[in-house]
């Protein structure tokens, strides 16, 4: 039963590994770990029917340790940690020495179970710590963490029972309450742990796809869709708190010439560069987006004209600094529009910022212009 479950979950995780983006790591190690767990269970079931019982038991123990160890490596990779191969090998070597000693030299079932349980729990404890430290606060992570903790407790309890009550309590071929709990936990834990790891990986996939759908792939700043979402939130805040926010419309000057003289690839590098320069001039609460071609929009929440002008100047000066990363020197023009009323919408403020930008272009480029404030809405005059 557990062999089938582990085998099936291995296929599920391997197919996820093949179809998920490469930045989601660890699924392949989990798939390999589950195959080894299935193989280990098969080897255990063969031990009574074969003459080479000792050898098969050693292989089964080794295979199970590798299986759980590879899942740990998978979890470490998933959370972007350096895989602790030294721990993997140390636990495996110690467990094989202990199991081998109490199997071949001085046969002692309970001692074997204790050594195996305590050492393998290191792999589980390591994963609990990983989830605790690096896990996202999300249901899938909590599910995964709790299951991993439960599995740790079950394995440690088995080790303690072996130490204090000897072999009978932990011999899974005999019948008793703990044996039943352990066997049931063993059967379902493999399935549940694999399902919960898949849930954590799927959650990561969702986050990546959401991020991709709101980011410009070249410059990694927001795209129009991402910007519209952010603007809607800031607009709601403006309506509630009656503050001001300011928009900068930034366009590269003579960008077509850069493409023509230095090639499209250099043009792309310039776009990445200008996004980085703009980003450095902003505060953490500000937002930058690429609105197609070579136009960038910056949203400065709770910021009036004076401060926005100061930030725009910082961008203008930083951009025209020559010789960054061997790129040609270039300049930008900036239009500024300030919004103080929630009556104006995104299209309205963008249009005013763009008008100011065109006026900066007309007046010679490499400069800043400020848009006039919008006219108040006309009110009907009573007759």
Q: Residue 89: which of Mg ion, ligand GH3, none does it interact with, CB under 5 to 8 A by kind?
A: none
The DSSP element (H or E) to which 332 belongs, if any, is: strand 332-339
- Over the window 335 to 374, marking each residue x when it contacts ligand GH3 by CB under 6 A and - when it does not, the resulting string is --------------------------x---x---------
- Return d(Cα 151, Cα 136) in angstroms, integer: 20
Q: Which is nearer to Mg ion, 136 or 295 (CB)?
A: 295
Find the part of the chain contacting ligand GH3 (CB under 6 A) among 170-178, 182-190, 225-233, 264-272: 264-272
Q: How far apart are CA 93 and CA 59, in angstroms?
A: 13
Region near ligand GH3 per CB under 6 A, out of 10-18, 78-86, 115-123, 256-264 = 256-264
Is 259 an interacting residue with respect to ligand GH3 (CB under 6 A)? yes
For the chain, the first-to-last Cα distance in angstroms comes to 86
> What letters, b where the CB count within 10 A reaches 16 and e where it falls short, cover 221-259?
bbbeebbeeebeebbeebeeeeebbbbbbbbbbebeebb
The entry of Mg ion, ligand GH3, none that residue 267 binds, CB within 5 to 8 Å by partner kind: ligand GH3
Based on CB atoms, which residue is closest to ligand GH3, 72 or 360? Answer: 360
Q: Does 264 bind ligand GH3 (CB under 6 A)?
A: yes
Could you say whether residue 193 binds ligand GH3 (CB under 6 A)?
Answer: no
Torsion angles phi and psi, residue 275, rounded to 5: -60, -40
Q: What span, in angstroms and rounded, lies between the C-alpha atoms of 376 and 18?
A: 57
Return the structure tokens found at 368: 């800043």
Q: Which is nearer to Mg ion, 77 or 352 (CB)?
A: 352
* Interactions with Mg ion, residue window 244-283 (CB under 5 A): 251-252, 255
Residue 336 bridge partners (DSSP): 248, 370
Q: Which residues bind Mg ion (CB under 5 A)?
A: 251-252, 255, 294-295
Q: Which stretches of the chain bind ligand GH3, using CB under 6 A? A: 251-256, 259, 264, 267-268, 271, 293-294, 361, 365
């Amino acid at each position: 039963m557990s062999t089938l479950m582990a085998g099936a979950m291995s296929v599920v995780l391997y197919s996820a590994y093949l179809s998920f983006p490469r930045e989601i790591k660890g699924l392949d190690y989990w798939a390999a770990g589950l195959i080894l767990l299935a193989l280990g269970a098969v080897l255990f079931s063969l031990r009574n029917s074969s003459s080479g019982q000792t050898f098969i038991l050693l292989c089964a123990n080794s295979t199970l340790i590798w299986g759980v160890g590879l899942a740990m490596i998978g979890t470490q990779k998933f959370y972007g940690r350096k895989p602790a191969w030294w721990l993997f090998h140390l636990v495996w070597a110690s467990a094989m020495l202990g199991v081998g000693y109490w199997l071949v030299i001085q046969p002692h079932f309970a001692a074997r179970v204790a050594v195996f349980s305590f050492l393998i729990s290191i792999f589980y404890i390591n994963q609990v710590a990983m989830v605790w430290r690096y896990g996202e606060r999300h249901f899938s992570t909590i599910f995964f963490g709790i299951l991993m903790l439960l599995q740790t407790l079950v394995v440690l309890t088995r080790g303690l029972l072996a130490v204090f009550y000897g072999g009978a309590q932990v011999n899974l071929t005999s019948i008793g309450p703990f044996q039943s709990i352990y066997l049931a936990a063993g059967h379902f834990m493999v399935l549940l742990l694999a399902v919960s790891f898949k849930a954590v990986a799927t959650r990561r996939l969702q986050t990546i796809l959401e991020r991709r759908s709101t980011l410009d792939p070249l410059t990694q700043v927001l795209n129009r869709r991402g910007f519209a979402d952010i603007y809607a939130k800031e607009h709601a805040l403006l309506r509630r708190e009656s503050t001001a926010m300011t928009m900068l419309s930034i366009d590269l000057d003579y960008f077509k010439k850069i493409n023509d003289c230095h090639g499209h690839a250099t043009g792309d590098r310039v776009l990445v560069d200008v996004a980085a320069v703009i980003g450095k001039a902003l505060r953490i609460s500000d937002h930058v987006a690429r609105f197609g071609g070579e136009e960038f929009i910056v949203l400065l929440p709770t910021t009036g004209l004076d401060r926005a002008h100061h930030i725009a100047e910082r961008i203008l000066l930083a951009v025209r600094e020559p010789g960054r990363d061997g790129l040609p020197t270039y300049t930008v023009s900036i239009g500024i529009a300030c919004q103080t009323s929630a009556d104006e919408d995104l299209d309205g403020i963008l249009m005013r910022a763009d008008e100011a930008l065109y006026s900066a272009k007309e007046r010679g480029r490499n400069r800043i212009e400020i848009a006039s404030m919008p006219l108040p809405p006309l009110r009907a005059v009573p007759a």
